[in-house]
Amino acid sequence: MKTALLFGSSGLIGGQLLNNLIQNNDYNKIRIFVRSEPEIKDSKIEIIKTDFNNLKNHVEDIKGDDCFFCIGTTKQNSPDKNEYKRIERDIPVEIAEIAKANSVNSFVYVSSGFADSKNSGAYLRYKGEVEEELKKLNFTKLGIMRPSFLLGNRKEKRFGEKIGIFLFKLLSPLFLGPLKKMKPIHSEKVAKVMIKISNGDFKQHVFESNEIAEISNY
């Protein structure tokens, strides 16, 4: 039986992932790292009230078998540039470093389609920088998820994203060949594949949106 470490359990993908881990018999403990007490209760869940400004205080907590990182923010929610960088770039890298030092077997990270450390936009650049740092850590198993527009019931309504999803769904039949990775994908499929990566034997580390969709079907 395994212990899962989950960061971002209140988000769209993280919420699906938590439900899937609860139902998965391979895991008997799920440590969720949160700022505030969640509503969900289950005997498998161990709640770690986390000070994300002082992660060194949680070195003894970040121990287990598989680490899943789903934390993300928006510039609207984090208008301060330094805070935005800390959440999108610094926190995932620091958590991964602690996990590696604690011999955590696998690390699965929710990145973004078109992540690139040389991108002029902060969001895609930070995602790309995190990807590069994760590869350097040489986890036994590493999964970098690059979903396109995410489908699912968000607690937080993002008007611009809703428009984008509508347009992308409308245009999906035209996304062929290299454009397949731009098709919207349901958060449940991403969560399902994250667990598959931690328990499977995949040769690749980076999973584009269309590849995630394909893996979710078997």
Q: What is the pLDDT along the chain (218 residues), one digit of tens a residue?
A: 999 999 999 999 999 999 999 999 999 999 999 998 888 889 999 999 999 999 999 999 999 999 999 998 877 788 889 999 999 999 999 999 999 999 999 999 999 999 999 999 999 999 999 999 999 999 999 999 999 888 877 655 555 556 555 555 555 565 555 556 668 889 999 999 999 999 999 999 999 999 999 999 88
State pTM to two decimals.
Answer: 0.89
Bridge partners, 17 (sequence order): none
Pairing of the two strands 2-7 and 27-34: parallel
* Domains by residue range for the chain, with CATH: 2-215 (3.40.50.720)
Q: Which helix (H) or strand (E) holds 7?
A: strand 2-7
> Residue type at 181?
K
Long-range contacts (CB closer than 8 Å, 24 or more residues apart) made by 97-100: 97/137, 98/55, 98/56, 98/58, 98/59, 98/62, 99/5, 99/62, 99/67, 99/139, 100/137, 100/138, 100/139
Does residue 67 contact residue 102 with C-beta atoms inside 8 Å? no
